[in-house]
Amino acid sequence: MQEQLKSISADRDRQAFEKAEIIEKANVISRERDDIRSRLAAETAERERLGSENSRLASEVESTRRSLSEAQRRAEEASAEAANLRKLLEAKPGNDPLVLLWEVARQKTTAGVAFLRSKIPANHPALPWFDKTVEVLTKLGCLAVQLTIAFAKWLKAEGLPRAKALSQKLLAEIETRLAKK
């Protein structure tokens, strides 16, 4: 019986020792788990911070890309306008500012009419009337320009010399009539 008691006592001591080891291991594992949880929380917070910063930087990049695209578009438009004006200057034999101004006005008017026409739907009943109106106004404008040019040429060639001659004749007639009185 003594042996059994010793055996039971040794068994109980061994179990108590194993229990103490298991508890110690559980405490170590629990501390490691808590440490891992806190590191996970810190890493998650860092990942979220980096994600929001990445999102912010992506929106800044997109905004900068849009601004750059808009600036490039405006630069291309300005370059095209400068090239267009340069072509106008090269195409004209003289440097007459009136001719250049007339050409720029013609181009801007043509562009404006094209813009207005593009705003009218293709099958709209007003489209033929718009086209006819533009055609009539174009013909009237060309006729007015031609008449103005013809009048200016006539005035320079015949009108002014004739007016000078008639005014001199009138002055001479007035002087002779005043001299008779």
Domain that holds residue 105: 94-120
Q: Model confidence over 11-69: pLDDT tens digits?
A: 888 888 889 899 999 999 999 999 999 999 999 999 999 999 999 999 999 999 999 99
Same-domain status, 78 and 141: no
Is the per-residue pLDDT at 156 higher than 70? Answer: yes
174 pLDDT band, cuts 50/70/90, is: very high
Residues 24 and 61 placed together within one structural domain of the fold: yes
**Are 38 and 73 in the same domain?**
yes
5 shares its domain with 55: yes
Q: Domain check: are 116 and 126 in the same one?
A: no
Map the chain to HEC letters: CHHHHHHHHHHHHHHHHHHHHHHHHHHHHHHHHHHHHHHHHHHHHHHHHHHHHHHHHHHHHHHHHHHHHHHHHHHHHHHHHHHHHHHHHHHCCCCCHHHHHHHHHHHHHHHHHHHHHHHCCCCCCHHHHHHHHHHHHHHHHHHHHHHHHHHHHHHHHHHHHHHHHHHHHHHHHHHHHHHHC
pLDDT in tens, 92-151: 556 677 777 777 888 888 899 999 889 888 888 888 898 899 999 989 988 998 999 899
Look up tokens 């291309």; give the residue.
Answer: 76
Residues 115 and 128 in one domain: no
Domain termination site, one of 71, 91, 111? 91
Regarding whether 51 and 18 lie in a shared domain, the answer is yes
Q: Output Rg (C-alpha) for the chain, integer angstroms.
A: 49
How far is residue 114's CA from residue 120's CA, in Å, rounded to a whole number? 10
**In a shared domain, residues 60 and 112:** no
Last residue of a domain, one of 46, 70, 91: 91
pTM of the model: 0.39
- pLDDT for the residue numbered 8: 85
Q: Are residues 126 and 169 in the same domain?
A: yes
The whole-number pLDDT of residue 92 equals 59
Q: Are residues 23 and 74 in the same domain?
A: yes
